[in-house]
Structure 1
Amino acid sequence: MKKTSIYITLIALLAGASSCDKGFDDLNTNPTAATALNPVFTFNNAIVNTSFPGSMLIFEEPIVQQMFSPNSGIISGGNFNIDNRGSSGANAQLWQRYFRDNIRYLVDIIAKTKTDANRSNLYNMARIWKALASMTLTDSYGDIPYSEAGLGYLSGNVSPKYDTQESIYTDILKELSEATAALDASKPTEAGEIMFGGDITKWKRLGYSVMLRAGMRLSKVNPTLAQSTVQKAVAGGVMQSNADNSAVRNNANYQNPVGTTLNSTEAANFYLTKTFVDYLKSTSDPRLASIAVRYVGAKSGPEQTAAKANRDPSVQIGMPLGYDNGTIPARATTDGLASFYDYSQLDRTRMGAFTAPCFLVTYAQTQLLLAEAAQRGWTTGNAADFYNAGVTAHMKQLGDYDATSLVSDANIAAYLQKNPYDPARGLELINTQYWVASFLNGPEAFANFRRSGYPTLTPNPYPGKEIKGNFINRLSYPDSEISVNQTKVNEAISRQGPDNLDTRVWWDKQ
């Protein structure tokens, strides 16, 4: 009897416990929490993180002699022709930003949408964007992880192999061809993506414009493939106006990394070079008024005030290369300036603002590449017409930074009349204009300078350089990558050449 009472009590307790557990999962599940992330949101994150990091001011811009700093320390790099590969070094920032915050997201999007017929446009947009991002990385470093990049989460591969740049370009061209052709406006168009709001026509023009860029990159290493790629891009349909420009439209929430750098602790550190300013002044280029500001008479960073700001092109004085913070004060005195803070800078209230757009692929660049293709006989059309259209487009593009930066039609016409296209100097003129049109797109300006050899720049005379040649040819692999993937990095180095600033990438043939 006593045992029976105990069993009844235990059964009652178990029944009670069971009834308490009923609905426990429902009670502890947030009914408003997302169970899956819409891949278009991940795509937007990848797009935003394509904005170039502030390190562009330390390497790419100084290499092509548009902007630099005379100061040393953490911002040493292209200004002194020395390496800067530490964990916080300038050459690490582009690597980390693109692999961690771009390629990784794009690989995930591609995997999630590949077999989803309703997301085929997003799938192909992501393929185009991955091709563009991968080009930026391989053009900067050479051999990089590509076929196995971004698979750490999906397959647990945390030490991806490095692919040769030649094989990377082969696949980039395939991806651009397939993805761009597959875009279809009759299918869901992904209005939530922030680049073109799902406009399939603009995405197609971007895909073929990137293909044109990739084709022209091969002009030295494989002219036959370069020509056929250019012709395929032109037949597909490249950008038709500035309305097709691909740019990250930054705002208060997603600020331009370069603008953030220039408007914070580094505000008084970076200056326009004498090379760049003198070139614009020598051709009476109206863009100088849109780009430059000089704080006349400033003797320190705090004295660079709005009251001293002068944007008149005639008073702009670029900082000469070859000086550091110990020697530039004497040169400033020789130049009749109050201090080195008195040299011209990028106007950080317009082109260098927190919210300034970051242009990635533009109609201006596309027209100038077509001008070179026409000059080489690789496409139909008149090189001079493409050239004039490219120069005009960039001058108009400046209005996207600020209404006061827009170059007027009258000033554009006067400039083109004074600086007409000369077929005898075609490649030089076209690629020098490409240099100007790619200002603040440091990776692209750096790549095209190596490919074309223009503009003709005098090597930086700074005596402490670490390079053997006249110019930096690539960025070295950052220590942060070597520390986690050393075996694969060493395989790339054994194949490509020494991991230094002198080694040339595959397409950069002498």
Structure 2
Amino acid sequence: MKNIFKYTAIISACLVLSTGCRKDFEKINTDPSTYNPTNFNPNYLLTSAQLGYSGSADFSYDTWRANLIYCSTMMQGLSTVISYWAGDKYILNAGYTAAYWGFSGTTATGGDGAYPEQVRPIVDVVQSTTGKAGYNNIHQVARIMKALIFERITDLYGDVPYSQAGLGYYEKTYFPVYDKQQDIYTDLLKEVSDATSHLDPAADKVTGDSYYNGDIAKWKRFGNTLLLRIAMRLSKVDPATAQTYVQKAIGNTMTSNADNAYLLGDASGGRNTVNRNSQILLGDGGQENYYTRWSKTFIDQLKNTNDPRLSAVAVTNLYVTDGTKDQNPAANSSAAVQKGMPNGKDLSAIAGQAIYSDPSFTGFTDYSSPSPALIKRNGPTFVLTYAESELLLADAAQRFGIGGSAAQHYHDGVKAAITYLSQYDAAATISDAAAEAYLTANPYNAANGLNMINTQYWVLTNTMLDFYESWANWRRTGFPVLVPVVYPGNNTNGTIPRRFPYPVIEAGTNTANYNAAHNAVPGGDLLTSRVWWDK
């Protein structure tokens, strides 16, 4: 993977195009002193979009708040007793659920979050390379990246600005409409399918690609794997369309862990380029290093099935007190001692609510932390993996009877989900033999197939620290079956949230379109309302 630091200074100084979702739109979109499509290499902006997709450069607030505080704990991958971690308490912190969408600001990108740091640069790449000789492959890669970016945004919020987003510079569209999620998904399928088919190994080298260093064969497999994932989101709401596009992807998806897409962090670049999840879980912004642990639900799943991943992803006694950020070199990775922390607890003295009164509590050091291999500052942020592809194909085979053997795809997906961990660090390596032994001990059972497939998908995405995807797939499938937390004062009547409400800042910057979308959400613009495909 290409080192991303050398691009960051250029991008930080030059990236000023607007998404059309903030104030001072016209000035930002027409300032002649800034770069424009005739004087800037679009490869730099591709790098910027890929970096932005891994998390915000401004202290990873989107990662911290959306991926970790909310998604990781709602999905019972992580657990914490830190008071502002509201996710597994099902309490709405409107600023935190808005963090992924983004805010206007004074940073070089004009703000933090997905619209300023992902949408703006990737739309600019697509627009500035359209129809231009010598830019075929970067144009197609950018179209695929744009779909990847918007898949996550719409999965989190539902109807969102899509067709007009990022076009302020080109079309003077500063107040974008919120497209219906159904229309967004229809276009995502079309865009990914078409862009992937037009990738040409004999055409231009994509020099700004930090995932594959411009390897077009891998991008083709990435595109088809993304197409599969987007299609399978529709398995409940529109199974006919789902099957049509799954059939297009079959035989063209990732073929091994060598195809895994990830972006390596660069510790030398500091906050701009460090691994975003690691920055938070190492405690750079608080005491997350000590008070955030793997959840009881997750650790119990691994222990109950003698999963070889347990000793690779978890350790106890990593931090000996809450007063140090130094990792204990004698941390214990033995599977026998791992213990997850229950969700929905806090540091109060209230019986039933306080972690100290929970029967599992013997001291914080006895609860399992993510292993050091998973939280390195220069470690990978996984984007899309072969294991996801195979498990989605297993789901399609079990659910629709297409694409071959569900059992074989399950086998290949689980094996890949176990052995890919070496891409974090050699210390997390698990042998093929250990993976095969696990599969022999836990054979596929078609009668419980969808549960098994999607529970394994949850385990995988948890170990990827991609809790956005854990939440999306749980909403799609209902697996694994999670027991909700009942915490006093929650905003969901004790049910696991289904979407993020719209950022209220939009009411003041994109008022008419915000009001229309806000008022159109079935059941109200709440944590409990559902996006279109979540039926």
CA-CA distance at 1:142 after TM superposition: 0.4
Question: Against the structure 1 CA distance between its residues 420 and 94, is the aligned structure 2 distance closer, same or farther, given a 3 Å change threshold?
Answer: farther
Contact 1:297 1:337 in 2 (8 A): no
CA-CA distance at 1:310 after TM superposition: 1.1
Matches within 5 A, 1:366-445: 366-439=389-462, 440-445=465-470
CA-CA distance at 1:377 after TM superposition: 3.4
SS at match of 1:118: coil
SS at match of 1:302: coil
Contact 2:320 2:328 in 1 (8 A): no
SS at match of 1:93: coil
Matches within 5 A, 1:31-50: 36-50=39-53
Provide Cα deviations, 1:284-339, integer angstroms capped at 9, x if missing partner: 11111111111179453439741552111111111112311215896446546553
Tell me if 1:240 matches 2:250.
Answer: no
Matches within 5 A, 1:155-234: 155-234=171-250
Matches within 5 A, 1:3-82: 36-52=39-55, 53-55=63-65, 56-73=67-84, 76-82=85-91
Match of 1:345 in 2: 369
d(CA) in 2 for partners of 1:218, 1:170: 10
CA-CA distance at 1:443 after TM superposition: 1.1
CA-CA distance at 1:490 after TM superposition: 1.3
d(CA) in 2 for partners of 1:219, 1:35: 43
Greater Cα offset, 272-281 or 45-54 = 45-54
Give the counterpart letter for 1:427 in structure 2: L
Larger CA Rg, structure 1 vs 2: 1
Tell me if 1:92 matches 2:106.
Answer: no
Question: Against the structure 1 CA distance between its residues 300 and 342, is the aligned structure 2 distance closer, same or farther, given a 3 Å change threshold?
Answer: farther
Contact 1:70 1:324 in 2 (8 A): yes
Give the counterpart letter for 1:346 in structure 2: P
Structural RMSD (CA): 2.0
Tell me if 1:506 matches 2:532.
Answer: yes
Question: Against the structure 1 CA distance between its residues 338 and 305, is the aligned structure 2 distance closer, same or farther, given a 3 Å change threshold?
Answer: farther
CA-CA distance at 1:486 after TM superposition: 2.6
Tell me if 1:102 matches 2:118.
Answer: yes
SS at match of 2:242: helix
Match of 1:280 in 2: 302
CA-CA distance at 1:432 after TM superposition: 0.3
Q: TM-score, normalised by structure 1?
A: 0.88
Matches within 5 A, 1:109-124: 109-124=125-140
Contact 1:300 1:341 in 2 (8 A): no
d(CA) in 1 for partners of 2:517, 2:90: 23
Match of 1:483 in 2: 508
SS at match of 2:243: helix
d(CA) in 1 for partners of 2:127, 2:177: 19
Unaligned runs of 5+ in 2: 1-36, 56-62, 103-111
Match of 1:255 in 2: 274
Give the counterpart letter for 1:450 in structure 2: R
d(CA) in 1 for partners of 2:325, 2:517: 49
CA-CA distance at 1:452 after TM superposition: 0.3
Contact 2:345 2:354 in 1 (8 A): no
Question: Against the structure 1 CA distance between its residues 131 and 325, is the aligned structure 2 distance closer, same or farther, given a 3 Å change threshold?
Answer: same
Match of 2:17 in 1: none
SS at match of 2:435: helix
Give the counterpart letter for 2:206 in structure 1: E
d(CA) in 1 for partners of 2:361, 2:237: 46
Question: Against the structure 1 CA distance between its residues 307 and 251, is the aligned structure 2 distance closer, same or farther, given a 3 Å change threshold?
Answer: closer
Greater Cα offset, 356-365 or 147-156 = 147-156
d(CA) in 1 for partners of 2:201, 2:322: 56
SS at match of 2:382: strand
SS at match of 2:135: helix
Give the counterpart letter for 1:58 in structure 2: I
SS at match of 1:359: strand
Contact 1:297 1:339 in 2 (8 A): no
d(CA) in 1 for partners of 2:300, 2:202: 51
Q: TM-score, normalised by structure 2?
A: 0.84
Greater Cα offset, 38-47 or 294-303 = 294-303
Contact 1:103 1:130 in 2 (8 A): yes
Contact 2:81 2:345 in 1 (8 A): yes
Provide Cα deviations, 1:37-73, integer angstroms capped at 9, x if missing partner: 2001110111111114222110111111100321213
Match of 2:27 in 1: none
SS at match of 1:101: helix
Contact 2:484 2:494 in 1 (8 A): no
Match of 2:58 in 1: none
Tell me if 1:461 matches 2:483.
Answer: no
Unaligned runs of 5+ in 1: 1-33
Give the counterpart letter for 2:220 in structure 1: K
SS at match of 2:491: coil
Greater Cα offset, 486-495 or 322-331 = 322-331
Match of 1:9 in 2: none
Question: Against the structure 1 CA distance between its residues 191 and 62, is the aligned structure 2 distance closer, same or farther, given a 3 Å change threshold?
Answer: same
Contact 1:183 1:204 in 2 (8 A): yes
d(CA) in 1 for partners of 2:53, 2:396: 27
Question: Against the structure 1 CA distance between its residues 123 and 277, is the aligned structure 2 distance closer, same or farther, given a 3 Å change threshold?
Answer: same
d(CA) in 1 for partners of 2:197, 2:529: 36
CA-CA distance at 1:93 after TM superposition: 3.4
Contact 1:77 1:90 in 2 (8 A): no
CA-CA distance at 1:193 after TM superposition: 2.1
CA-CA distance at 1:94 after TM superposition: 5.0
Match of 1:300 in 2: 322
Match of 2:148 in 1: 132
d(CA) in 2 for partners of 1:420, 1:319: 28
d(CA) in 1 for partners of 2:140, 2:487: 46
**Matched residues, number:** 470
CA-CA distance at 1:341 after TM superposition: 4.6
Match of 2:34 in 1: none
Question: Against the structure 1 CA distance between its residues 329 and 164, is the aligned structure 2 distance closer, same or farther, given a 3 Å change threshold?
Answer: closer
d(CA) in 2 for partners of 1:374, 1:460: 33
Match of 1:28 in 2: none
